[in-house]
Structure 1
Amino acid sequence: MATLNNNWDPLLDPNPLPLEMGYERLEDGSLHVAARTDMHGCTGEMLEWWFRWRCDTQKYIWWHPIDHVSSTWAGSLSPDTHVGSEHIVVEKLTDIPDSELLIQFRDPEEFFDADRYREARGCGHVSCAITGRISSGHEPPRDETGRVLGGRLIHIGRDTDWGLALRSHFYLGADLPAAGLDPTEVELALPTEMAVGLLQHAYNEFTFLSRLLPALYVAEHRDEHPPTAPW
């Protein structure tokens, strides 16, 4: 079993990681799920805009018409950043029944070494970063500063000639050991079926999104970037 050491900086390097697509059980009983999605025709700028757009339920179902059920938002709702917002959703994780989830979007520099992150953005190794804390239920436990306790979510993208190479990594139950649960208890709370369902769900939802995101982005930015006809 691997160990979660809270060092996510290797995700800033475009070279392949030991786990690019799959899942593993960590020594503390928590789960690490990794999914890579090639989003043809998309860019990191488009993906960050999508999360700032804060889709309502209708648009959330556009995103994944099989698994997504409902979408609302709370927290800080600045139009300039997704950081500080909280996405309150109901969704399926493939074959797992409807689940209430909350995603609290955080600054990437909470997850990565600040200098390495800025260097990766500057040289083009990273073109987008969506990072956050995730928890089951719409009223999750929080620490004294308001941070959601549960797991971690990291979407790291890199622009290429053909589109966006997106890496999605999830660390389910990352805070359970600190809450006093031993590895066996954590493993019981996080069955392997959850990792399988999330892996399939993540790949499918960003594949679906890649089919509509470029057109939506062009339409929503036509005043500042007038589009041209494709013929």
Structure 2
Amino acid sequence: MTEPTTEPRPDPSRRTHLGMRPGELDGKWYAKYWNPVMAPLPGHIKEAIDLGPQAPPLCLGLDDAETLSETGQQDLENGYSLFDDGSMHIATSTHMPRVTPDMVDWWFWWHTSETQRYKLWYPRAHLYAEWSDGTADRSASYRERYVGGTSFVDEYVGNVPGELAIRFVRPSALGFSEDRLDPDKATAICARVGFSHVPLDWGHVVHYVRRVDDGAEMRSRFWMGGNYVAPSGGASLTGELEKVAEGVRRLGDVQARAMVVHCSQEMNHLAAFLPDIFDEFEHRQQV
């Protein structure tokens, strides 16, 4: 559903580590937002994991992603399912007090260019971040600053490290009406997920954020593995690339549970400091 790109890939020899080493945050105005202590997993996520894989018909199809903009609850708001083709579907919801959709758009632009910023988001799993493309136009909306760019990130999902390329696409590429995405009321972060070290895509992600009475609600959906695996940048599935593809075509229960936990933890941790760091950023731009 999205066009392949041929963006430059990061140096494979880069060194990564969890946490912040002494001196890493020296001189960073946002250093005070570093908090390695994460809140317990929300009860509704624990319940979803305990239930195990859900019936595939309950899952939202990728072609229907835009229905996340509709009011009310869907059949599967939290949990996961496994499909016969080896793919998995992940769904989580995150309550974000005091957060606005525009803050979330800002975060997906602001955090991408520096590893230390990325680590603020999920201290127990995030390792490295590097930004490619996007727009440098500071007069553009926050959404326009990251759409079209690629975030190269290293992170753990469960106990498995991954080197990923997150290519942000327009919400309209997944069926959303951008006329209805007023950043004060709603936004949709849409991306193609691939590997940073080889030209292979293997999933899609949507984070739909809408205003609620005391802040925002984020509805996250992932479609990964199976038929979502495809070469990018004009590559062919031969040799070593085919071996990599085979490794992500069939995803199982362990990977799905880890993904539910990962998404819930990182988004809840983000919600805890996003309003304050955004307000300080905005203030710094005005003085």
**What is the aligned partner in structure 2 of residue 35 from structure 1?**
92
Which residue is 2:215 aligned to? Answer: 163
After superposition, residues 1-231 of structure 1 pair within 5 angstroms as 1-2=56-57, 4=61, 6-53=63-110, 54-79=112-137, 80=140, 81-93=145-157, 95-114=158-177, 117-119=178-180, 121=181, 127-141=186-200, 149-173=201-225, 174-176=227-229, 189-222=250-283
Stretches of structure 1 that go unaligned for 5 or more consecutive residues are 142-148, 227-231
1:30-80 Cα offsets, whole Å, 9 max, x none, are: 111011010111110100011111341111111111011111111234343
The structural deviation recorded for 1:29 is: 2.5
Q: TM-score, with normalisation over the residues of structure 1?
A: 0.81
2:86 is paired with a residue of what secondary structure?
Answer: coil
* Partner Cα distance (1:127, 1:225) in 2: 25
Q: CA deviation at 1:224?
A: 6.5
How far is 1:216 from its partner?
A: 1.1
Which secondary structure does the structure 2 equivalent of 1:8 belong to?
helix
- The count of corresponding residues between Structure 1 and Structure 2 is 210
Offset of 1:225 from its aligned partner? 6.8
Once the two structures are superposed, residues 97-137 of structure 1 have per-residue CA deviations (whole angstroms, 9 ceiling, x without a partner) of: 221111000000000153xx534x3598x511110100134
SS of match in other structure, 2:150? strand
Task: Please tell me the residue identity of whatever aligns with 1:84.
Answer: G
TM-score scaled to structure 2, two decimals? 0.66
Pairwise CA distance, 1:5:
5.5
C-alpha displacement of 1:203: 0.6
User: How far is 1:163 from its partner?
Assistant: 1.1
Gaps in structure 2 of 5+ consecutive residues: 1-55, 232-236
CA contact (8 A) 2:194 2:203 kept: yes
Contact 1:35 1:169 in 2 (8 A): yes
**Identity within the alignment, %:** 27
Residue 123 and residue 40 in structure 1: after superposition, are their counterparts in 2 closer, same or farther (change >3 A)?
A: closer
8 Å Cα contact 1:29/1:186 also seen in 2: no
- Aligned partner of 1:145 in structure 2 is none
Contact 1:96/1:194 (8 A) holds in 2 = no
Q: Cα offset for 1:172?
A: 0.5
Instruction: Measure the CA separation in 2 of the matches of 1:43 and 1:113.
Output: 19
| SS across alignment from 1:15 | coil
- The root-mean-square deviation of aligned C-alpha atoms, in Å, is 2.7
* Contact 2:102-2:183 within 8 A present in 1 as well: no
Shift in Å at residue 155 of structure 1?
A: 0.4
Matched AA of 2:169: R
Change beyond 3 A, Cα 1:188–1:129: closer
Alpha-carbon shift at residue 206 of structure 1 (Å): 0.8
